[in-house]
Amino acid sequence: MEAILALEDGTIFHGRSFGAPGEKAGEVVFNTSLTGYQEILTDPSYKGQIVTMTYPLIGNYGVNDADSESPGPNAEGFIVRENSRIASNFRSTGKLEAYLHKFGIVGIEGIDTRMLTRRLRLKGSLKGIISTVDLDEKSLVKKAKDSPGVEGVDLVKVVTCKEPYVWNETSYAQMTNEQCQLTNVSAPRQKCKYHVVAYDYGAKFFILRHLAGAGCKVTVVPADYPADKVLELNPDGIFLSNGPADPAAVTYAIKNIKKLIGKKPIFGICLGHQLLGLALGGKTYKLKFGHHGGNQPVMDLKTKKVAITAQNHGFAVDIDSIPKGTVELTHINLNDKTVEGMRHLKLPIFSVQYHPEAGPGPHDASYLFKEFTKLMGNA
């Protein structure tokens, strides 16, 4: 079946449909990871976005029940150079194309993803639309232009949990989606020494596994859960998760974080890092094409060590906008010198822009979960 990808700037790509038929609009971004396409598709941070994989062959090891980062895919659409017709891996339980079809995700293959990636790098992330039902180019370009994009849009409310729960793999899968059959792939659990309340702005399963593996009982709460109710739980620490779209639009989260600052140790990643920056009086801004992939070099300014990190975000914190004497810059991105980490100068609070849980990606930064437990132990 023919499929068309149209961008808001008028660029048209003709390809073949794979996955579900239909039509989906979103901000088109590219991801440089070589593997981990199932984790990428199911990352709630991709809500509102159409993902382009720069690696040309996708789907060759299939999909399985254990690699999902949420109950199902969150990306609006999927773009690849070639979808593998053969899925060969001992863990595979199905093919990527059938997986996309099952969850209603529109995909397109057979286009020049190098050209698309170069256009996104030169022009910045663009709104686009994939369609198998409307093949009129002018109509699709107009639909792409008229689509909401992600700036000023709150998509956290779409992906957050509805009720608080205590994390464990089996009960979460049953509660959230009967189709999501997670197997026992948790990180090695230690005795629960700390109680952490994790705000779910679009939290990935692997983050919660790492917290549990570091010896934490994890109570997950919705993104708009009141700060006073969090404090009633008397946790040892508060975790601010990753999530999609524009942090400035998630005003309720910013208000709650302001009320929690100074009350408990706080660790934020990705969107949680950006929301913390806003709660501390700073500003965020949109990056040209964002950081999406598993090969972003980040330097720890204290040790001068460089970690290769997994990242997925389109906004960044302007650390100079945070009142002086509040935080110190701890990490920077070596590609574009953007803020990758900060620490409060007086309170037990720190955050990073990248994903230390790395699902998928390198494990260079997984030590940060232990740093969080040390912070709670010393508080």
Binding region for L-glutamine: 45, 243, 271, 274, 312, 314-315
d(CA 294, CA 292): 7
Binding residues: 45, 243, 271, 274, 312, 314-315
Active site residue 270: yes
Question: For residue 187, how many C-alpha atoms fall within 13 Å in the half-sphere facing its CB?
Answer: 20
In Å, what is the CA distance from 293 to each residue of 146, 312, 354? 28, 7, 10
Q: Tokens standing for 273?
A: 């890092």
In Å, what is the CA distance from 277 to each residue of 3, 257, 311, 327? 41, 10, 18, 9
Distance, first Cα to last Cα, the chain: 59
* Residue given tokens 């001992």 in the structure block: 90
Edge-to-edge strands, sheet with 349-352: 165-166, 216-222, 194-200, 237-240, 266-269, 349-352, 339-344, 327-333, 283-300, 306-318
Name which of 263, 17, 363 is nearest 4 in CA terms.
17
Residue 260 gets which letter from DSSP?
A: H
Active site residue 137: no
Beta-carbon contacts of residue 320 (< 8 Å; ≥ 6 apart): none
Q: Indicate which residue of 27, 69, 76, 357 is catalytic.
A: 357
Q: Indicate which residue of 8, 270, 313, 340 is catalytic.
A: 270
Q: Which residues are catalytic?
A: 270, 355, 357
